[in-house]
Structures are given as structure tokens and as C-alpha cells.
Amino acid sequence: MDDGIYMDYSAGKPLEARCLEAMRPYFLKHFGNPSSLHLFGGEPRQALQRAREQVAQLIGARLPEEILFTSGATESSNLAIKGVALRARGKNHVITSEIEHVSVLNICKFLENQGFKITHLPVDRFGMVDLERLTAEVRDETILITLQYANNEIGTLQPIAEVGELARSRGIYFHVDAVAAVGQVPIDVEREKIDLLSFSANDLYGPKGVGALYVRKGTRVIPVMQGGGQEFGLRSGTEDIPGIVGLGVAAEMAREELEGEAQRLSRLRDKLIEGVTGRIRNSYLNGHPTRRLSNNAHFRFDYIEGESLILSLSMLGVAAATGSACTSKTLEPSRTLLRIGLTEEQAHGSLLFALGKSSTEAEVDYILDHLPKVVDRLRAMSPFTPKEYFSGR
Ligand code: PMP
């Protein structure tokens, strides 16, 4: 707590020391190219295989060869979505949701410009897609459904296994953006009938700039980058062995720690949610009350702006977020919050606490002690606060 309270774990996570230690020899000693046939290619090649096994185990993949390494979720989703769509002959329809991460939405926009038809499923006030609506949108031309496992802003978990069942029964590929969920929720690509799954190593406290794509054996994908044919011909370019080693160890640690950490964090999350909504009038939880990530507490407060809350909290040593770090440079209100039915004012008055490994009960208590005073002070200064608010105290 001396270094401040970090509650922005959805924007970035520190690297686990165990990952760093495992990576170190692959920068200095085992620097060879895994494609080399001589001695120096051997250890990097083995490390690559080990990391595939570690990642496959985390997500329940049957074969290590179903794991490809990339530079992160953005690249994985490009390969998955474009790779499937551009390979499909005669089928030109893709289904996604209205609250996907901008990376997936922009890939879909690219495909739309290439002549594909894209259906954006609406979500309810909790951020969930409707299975009946999804079923109704499926056509003979549908090649792919791409859906996030969990929303990175409001934390809502989608009905992944049910969508997987539907996709499989209709012969449609199913891609999942698992960035927000991996390491937080037990993912099982077999049970959930997922064909392609994207995430980044940093989501698991691994290094930044490396990620993975799960591709079920037999899935028809074409590469989107041409080159030397590494990663089973699907992702050319010399492999980032240290990064991949770090991802493998991070996946192994996540598998060991997932259950205990999810329980610990959901208890802290619930304390924060009950404390904030109980102590601060006109404050509300955004997202689903129960089907949500164990580390996500997303609120909105009437009459004030999230940005001023962030700055006031920052002065008290607390780092929280207003929404997605990837779109924070725009002053636009969050699309996700508008799509779940919030007004622009409500969207601007929202705040996310994303908990993680360093989060403690003492930190939650500190926030619960200080946030009500901060909110009161900002409301007292805000021209939007009605007079009755103060007389009602
Ligand atoms: N999907 C979601 C839900 C995200 O939050 C992010 C950003 N962290 C991405 C995809 C893109 O991930 P990356 O920037 O690691 O490629």
C-alpha cells in the first residue's frame, strides 16, 4: 500500500518474478533460433514445445499443436477472424456482439469493407447477449461467431458454453476473445466447444507483447502474414522464445492459483460493491450482479464525472479506471456503457476498480473510507447535483 493502491489490473499487470527468472536464460544463453538444426536450436525448440503444453493445459486443449504464439490478443484475433473468414468459400456472414473490444470490432469492420456481412448482437442491461436472438441471426452463409468471454469494462460473462453448443450444432466456427477472462475463470475449450481463442500473456501476469491463439485441429484458417512458415505455417516470423517461455510459466502459475485467487478476489469485490453502493447514495453497480469477473467492481455515480473521480482518487494514492485503457485517448463515452442502456452522463460518471494479486482487504477498507468523502466533495462542486440531494442528508 506504501506505493499506492493499484486497482487498474485490466489495463496492465506486473510480470511474475518466476516468469522473469524462467525467461532470463533464453535472452542470454539459449539464444539460438528454434528452426536451426544444430545444437543451438535444440533448447529453444524444447522450450517452445514446453510452453505449448503449459498453455494447452490451462485452457483444456487436447493437443499442444493447437496452440500458436503471436504478439498478443490483437494479432491472435486478426488471425482467427480474418483467417477463417477469408478461407471460407461461399460463406460471408459473421456474428459478433455490440460490446466487443475495439480490436475485434475493427477486424469485423475490415471484413465488412471486403464485402462480408456482419451482425452485431445487442446486449441486455447487464451486458449479456440473448441466445434466442443469436439463434435467429444464424444463416446458411454464417461462417463464424466471435464473442468475448468476459467484458473488459463491466466484467459480464457471456454464456460461452451455450453459444459453443449452438455454433457446433450449426457447423459454424466459434472464436472467443478471452483477454479479460483467462486466468480468472476456468476455461475449457473442449467442454465449451470453442474453436479459436485469443489472449495475451500479460493477462496472466506474463510479459507484454506476446500472446496465444488456440486453433482447434481441423479448423480451416489461412495465414494473414506471409513469411517463413513458422507456427505450423500460420504465423510466420522468428519466435519470441523468452516471451513464449514467460507465457508458458504464467499459464502454469495461473492454473495453480486460479481457484484460490478467484475466491479471494470475489470476496474483496463483493465487499467493495456492498460498501460502495451501501454507503454512497445514487451509486450503482454496472454489469451483471452475479455473472461477473471475480476481480471487477464497476460503478456509476450520479452528478459527477469519472475523470474527476480518477484524479481525486489518484491524489489519495488509488489508481482506478474509467473504462478501457485502449480507448481512453478519446473523450467519447464508453460504447459498452451506452449499449447496456446508460445515458452519456451516466457513462461519464462511471468508475472501474479492477482487482488483482496485490489487492488486500486493507486496500478495500481504505477505498471505502475515502470514496464517500470524495464523491460528496465532487457533488458539492458539480452544477448537476440537485439541491434536494444535500437537504436529503
Ligand atoms: N480484447 C480485450 C477484451 C482487451 O481488453 C484487450 C486489451 N487488453 C484486447 C482484446 C487486445 O489485447 P492486446 O492489446 O494485448 O493485443
Cell of 352: 472501474
Q: Are 244 and 124 part of one and the same domain?
A: yes
Cell of 199: 489472449
DSSP state of 156: B
Query: Are the C-beta atoms of residues 103 and 77 closer than 8 Å to each other?
Result: yes
The domain tally of the chain equals 2
Triad 352, 353, 355: Cα angle to 5° = 140
Tell how far the Cα of 101 is from the centroid of ligand 1, in angstroms: 7
Q: Lowest mean pLDDT: which of 272-281, 294-303, 377-386?
A: 377-386
Residue 383 is assigned to a structural domain of this protein: no
- Is 70 exceeded by the pLDDT of residue 19? yes
Residue 386 is assigned to a structural domain of this protein: no
Q: Are 191 and 297 part of one and the same domain?
A: no
Domain of residue 204, CATH code? 3.40.640.10
Query: Are the C-beta atoms of residues 310 and 321 closer than 8 Å to each other?
Result: yes
Residues belonging to the active site: 326
Q: Are 267 and 221 part of one and the same domain?
A: no
Of 229, 254, 279, the residue at which a domain comes to its end is: 254
Burial (CB count <10 Å: 0-12, 13-18, 19+), residue 217: exposed
Bridge-partner residues for 297, per DSSP?
353
Which of 295 and 387 is assigned the larger pLDDT?
Answer: 295
Averaged confidence pLDDT in the chain: 95
User: Residues 288-330: pLDDT tens digits?
Assistant: 999 999 999 999 999 998 889 999 999 999 999 976 555 555 6
Q: Are 124 and 238 part of one and the same domain?
A: yes
Tell how far the Cα of 176 is from the centroid of ligand 1, in angstroms: 12
Q: How far apart are the first and last CA of the chain?
A: 32
Mutate to test the pocket of ligand 1, among 9, 103, 107, 352 (most ligand atoms within 8 A of CB): 103
Of 235, 254, 273, the residue at which a domain comes to its end is: 254
Q: Are 155 and 297 part of one and the same domain?
A: no
What global pTM score does this model have? 0.96
Q: Are 90 and 39 part of one and the same domain?
A: yes
Of 227, 254, 281, the residue at which a domain comes to its end is: 254
Domain of residue 350, CATH code? 3.90.1150.10
Query: Are the C-beta atoms of residues 71 and 244 closer than 8 Å to each other?
Result: no
13: left (phi over 0), alpha (psi -120 to 50) or beta: beta
Q: Which residues make Cβ contacts (< 8 Å) with residue 277, sequence separation at least 6?
A: 283, 284, 285, 299
Tell how far the Cα of 372 is from the centroid of ligand 1, in angstroms: 32
DSSP state of 65: G
